[in-house]
Structure 1
Amino acid sequence: MNAETRNGGVKTLGIKVPDALHAQFTLVAQLDGISLGDAALRAVELYVATKKAEPDFAARAKAALEEIEREAAARRGAIQGLFGADAPAAEAAEPTTSQARRRSGEASK
């Protein structure tokens, strides 16, 4: 299963590369018989694999996750502070398009 199938899409990455490095990159890709896009994808995959193999990577990832969870808890607390016991449930935090139109009066048009 490729990345496109797994996550439902792909992202475009645009980077600036110095001329000399671009020339080398182009040559290497040509020698391997692959496109620059495929070579860039392989480079990104190698970078991610290399970083994941670093001894402290898991600890840094765990710290980042804990920070995300702290920020989410702070935002949740702020919303609960605004609404008290009537705080909207997490599933209803973002209104659907039709809910947003109804609230703004557009649904009656």
Structure 2
Amino acid sequence: MSDVTPSSASSYSAGDSIRPLSVRMLDSSRVQLEVLAQLNGRSVTEEVRVALEAWIEKSKSDPKVQARAEQVRADIEREAAVRRGAIEAIFSPGPDKPARGRGKGTDE
């Protein structure tokens, strides 16, 4: 059984799906969350979803997060270049490399 269900919330686009998330929290935080959800006329789940979406949007404009994202992008590009080079070395014959290698057990 998949933990992904189609979204029926109006704030999501047609391609979005909703996946469950379990969060452990102190009882005191849970009670406050329940009160806030009640005051805002939302379910606890929707209150958490709204808060997380706001935090994600805030994080997108955080200079520290942006700098770290650039570092991660650069790391990904370096790793991809190394892997491309490895594939090239394996499958592309060079001037001193035969087009097809000999397998194990082949007599010379």
Query: Which has the larger Rg?
Result: 2
Partner of 1:18: 26
TM-score (norm 2): 0.63
Q: Do 1:3 and 1:10's aligned partners in 2 also have CA atoms closer than 8 Å?
A: no
| Runs of 5+ consecutive residues of structure 1 not aligned to the other structure | 86-109
Report how far residue 10 of structure 1 moved. 3.0
**Could you tell me which of 62, 77, 90 is aligned with 1:82?**
90
- The structure with higher relative contact order (CA 8 Å, sep 6+) is 2
**Structure 1 residues 51, 19: CA separation in 2 closer, same or farther (over 3 Å shift)?**
same
Map 1:1-109; keep pairs closer than 5 Å.
2-5=11-14, 7-85=15-93
Q: Indicate the RMSD between aligned Cα atoms, in angstroms.
A: 2.2
Report how far residue 21 of structure 1 moved. 0.8
| Runs of 5+ consecutive residues of structure 2 not aligned to the other structure | 1-9, 94-108
Counterparts of 2:59 and 2:78, CA distance in 1: 25
TM-score (norm 1): 0.62
Structure with bigger helix share is 1
**Structure 1 residues 78, 13: CA separation in 2 closer, same or farther (over 3 Å shift)?**
farther
| Count of aligned residue pairs for this structure pair | 84
